[in-house]
Structure 1
């Protein structure tokens, strides 16, 4: 597969899922995006495609040509299944760990924007901080592997990965009717442990964990959900959280799109904000603490 065919198929995949969202009426009924959301999602997607990915690919190509000039295309003779295996580890598993690390205090401000959407849709797929993708290790590894000769296989791999990621974020939960079909339960048992699905990924985007469905501290897989199963962060319920998004946005007001995209260059002045130096990250534990303090104050 060459790059032109890949781009065409990617465009068709995006259009296909967009149509599914509209035809199923899930976009109209569940996606209540503001202009703030639209600016963040549109500009992040454009910056990723037009700047971040080309810069990383160019930089890795130049660095490899400088450091290892004789290795260009050196792995092009590998069988396709070996290339796929290397990509799954060097790109997808590495992205699992990057995503998991991004839910820690240090990196959370760079990933927070992805979770601030109060809806699920393919438009959320690349909603993140600008530095999140620029620093993503998997993209740099992919650039090196392209230099080593993974071209055609990489394009096919990235197409499959994009389809899975789009399907996991889609406003239309394609797995719901399959869960309702008893004959497909054994098949879905395998599927939901291999790839990311709307049910497992919505749990990751849930606004809370206390309902037993939400699991924003796990379900980190992008293409393969198997990494969550392997590393103990999987939570499978076949149910969908009532709400997605961030509780602190509901309580203190939504962060501006430019603060979300360009932190730390731009910082929030909001209470309980991760988008400022020294800011406190709000969580279920924070809410419980606030409720205790309120109850104590009332008792007095």
Structure 2
């Protein structure tokens, strides 16, 4: 079994494990009320990431490197594994934090909006985003470039497995961190954990329907693997609590956007008047709707 196959097996086990815990804890049955529209979007974006976006980024950077920069191929191959891992944290996870943060700006929000339109948290919506959001994600292309430069495939496989396990856990309907906060002996450990990696408490806050409850923080908590970036750059909000409601207020007012518009904007546009998924459409701002 090569590195890629081993990595895929471990990621598959992580997905299955968190999904199993969602059902065993009955959190899925109690909180995930997905529509057929949700199911199509969750499934098709996941398939597009696995089958198109990531392979394309790696293949294209490999081909470009061999065509124009062949003298640099394998330049990092002699680096120790921990240095390669640290470089991936900077080249992939830090840039994803910055990309995610930029995606909450009016210009890029339509490409990220789909991720927040789910009115539930679950492993099934972890990859839910616009198709072009992933194609444009800097971390995928930088990772491809680093592999060309000689980052070990086993190091990359371990890194990607660790990252996706953390991200899946942060989106999971089963809140694995919740019982740990109640164990007094673990308070110092959890203080470090919640400031280092994304947890359900910190990431659910990012998906909150509102910031007005003191728990939600959809204008922060952008970290993917490392929550440490939020701590460093001042976007962290830690409460050890979970928002009561998830999703977008404009969807609750006007109804869901069609999955095609969410996945393929700007190629296709929404017909909804109050929509970020159409040219000239409006983005809902709760600070301007005090009665909401």
Same fold by TM-score greater than 0.5: yes
Shorter-chain TM band:
over 0.9
Unaligned stretches of 5+ residues in structure 2: none
The residue number in structure 2 matching 1:214 is 216
Unaligned stretches of 5+ residues in structure 1: 293-300
Alpha carbon RMSD of aligned pairs, Å? Answer: 1.0
The residue number in structure 2 matching 1:109 is 110
Q: Counterparts of 1:245 and 1:114 in 2: how far apart (Å)?
A: 9
Decide whether the 8 Å contact of 1:103 with 1:111 is kept in 2: yes
State the TM-score, normalizing by the size of structure 2.
Answer: 0.98
Q: Counterparts of 2:71 and 2:220 in 1: how far apart (Å)?
A: 42
Residue 18 in structure 1 maps to residue 19 in structure 2: yes
The residue number in structure 2 matching 1:85 is 86
Residue 72 in structure 1 maps to residue 76 in structure 2: no
Q: Counterparts of 1:56 and 1:84 in 2: how far apart (Å)?
A: 19
Decide whether the 8 Å contact of 1:130 with 1:261 is kept in 2: yes
Runs of 4+ in 1 over 6 A off after TM superposition: none
SS at match of 2:289: helix
Q: Counterparts of 1:184 and 1:128 in 2: how far apart (Å)?
A: 35
The correspondence for 1:160, drawn from 159, 162, 182, is: 162
Decide whether the 8 Å contact of 1:252 with 1:271 is kept in 2: no
Q: Counterparts of 2:184 and 2:263 in 1: how far apart (Å)?
A: 44
Q: Counterparts of 1:43 and 1:182 in 2: how far apart (Å)?
A: 43
Q: Deviations over 1:265-299 (max 9, x none)?
A: 111121321000111100212322xx49xxxxxxx
Q: Deviations over 1:27-69 (max 9, x none)?
A: 0000000000000010000011111111111110111111211
Q: Deviations over 1:91-130 (max 9, x none)?
A: 0000000000000000000000000000000011110000
State the TM-score, normalizing by the size of structure 1.
Answer: 0.95
Q: Counterparts of 2:235 and 2:84 in 1: how far apart (Å)?
A: 26
Q: Counterparts of 1:20 and 1:235 in 2: how far apart (Å)?
A: 26
Length, aligned pairs only:
290
Decide whether the 8 Å contact of 1:130 with 1:262 is kept in 2: yes
The residue number in structure 2 matching 1:37 is 38
